[in-house]
Amino acid sequence: MKTRTLPGTSLSVSTVCLGTMTWGEQNSEADAHAQLDYAVAQGVNFIDTAEMYPIPPAAATQGRSEAMLGAWLARQARDRLVIATKVAGPGRRDWIRGGRTDLTAANIGEACDLSLSRLRTDYIDLFQIHWPQRNVPMFGTVEFVPGDEKPGPGIREQVEGMAALIDAGKIRHYGLSNETTWGVCAFREAARAAGVPGPVTVQESYSLVSRRADVDMAEALHRENMSLLAYSPLAAGMLTGKYLRGARPANARHMLFANAGVRYRKPLVQEAVAEFAQLAQRRGLTLPQLALGWVGSRWFVGAALVGATTMAQLAEDIAAAQHVPDPETLADIAAIQERYPNPAG
């Protein structure tokens, strides 16, 4: 398993990060612990969760993924693992923390304490803001609407809240998620102005069919010495090939949950996936090898997050992520991407 040190940190992470969003909904605690044992045996040391998980989110299940991870983590050598979790942003799930979801310093601190308790650990390596406080296009929407703006705590308060947690030894670093390029730069500038640490990562949807990060975000990551954590590198299962030609596999997320991965179900996504599948076949590769190998080849990606509901899926994804695409394959991918530059948004 390849490892990288995330820029601006001392965190040496596996280039595959184990995602946990199915734990507590599609996966039991026994499933979760089996996945963890297997992933660590393969060299994975980076695990990502969130206070909101599992997905789809619900008041009855909120926090289960962290708790399942915590039950396993209590038996491990903590210093050998890099644990990332997230504080939910405002407005989408008002049952989280009794509706205290505005990103004030106090609410960020409360979320951190609750996550620490569920995770059964004294510190979090990477504490991420799951989505922004302010109005931004996210989760597949593409148009900024100024009229949707709402009042709330500013970026300066958020960076100072995170800095207080670093000073208290509760977190080592913090990051952003579902953020814009403007937001990344604004956070870094606010941190500089306040004389406190800035965010070190941004977690975004990134795959062969979701490439919003390739232009402005990539420049910001370079200039600010940050890295991207790529979630949904298989486009919510589309890039496994299991939905090709209209297939409807039993127990797949798109079959179980009507609103799961809507951005990846657009017609152009399906067309692009079919072309990538044909390319993989010509190259003697599986579609996951093509997709995860490409994500791993991108210079600004720190790690690709993979999650699975079965051990067979997890084993395939971890193995596929080790593939290193050759220049000819990368050129063929680029040719397809010229026709389908960012179909999922």
Question: Per residue in 293-318, pLDDT tens?
Answer: 999 999 999 999 999 999 999 999 99
The per-residue pLDDT for range 33-69, each reduced to its tens digit, is: 999 999 999 999 999 999 999 999 999 999 999 999 9
Q: Which residues contact 238 (CB under 8 A, 6 or more apart)?
A: 209, 261, 264, 265, 269, 270, 273
pLDDT value at 255 more than 80: no
**Which of the residue ranges 11-25, 103-117, 234-248 would you say has the lowest mean pLDDT?**
234-248
Please list the alpha-helical segments (H only) found in the chain.
Answer: 29-41, 64-73, 105-119, 155-167, 181-194, 216-224, 253-256, 267-282, 287-297, 311-320, 327-339
74-98 pLDDT, tens digit each? 999 999 999 999 999 998 688 999 9
Is residue 289 a contact partner of residue 280, using CB atoms and an 8 Å limit?
yes
CATH topology classification for 3-235+291-331 = TIM Barrel (3.20.20)
Note the pLDDT of residue 94: 84
Is the bond preceding 325 in cis, omega lying within 30 degrees of 0? no
Band (260; pLDDT cuts 50, 70, 90): low
Q: Given pLDDT bands bounded at 50, 70 and 90, which one contains residue 253?
A: low
Segment 97-137, tens digit of pLDDT: 999 999 999 999 999 999 999 999 999 999 999 999 998 88
Predicted TM-score (pTM) of the model is 0.94
Per DSSP, the residues of 165-176 read HHHTTSEEEEEE
Catalytic center residues: 53
Count other Cβ atoms within 10 Å, centred on residue 137: 15
CA-based nearest residue to 207, from 52, 336, 48:
336
Cis peptide before 54 (omega within 30 of 0): yes
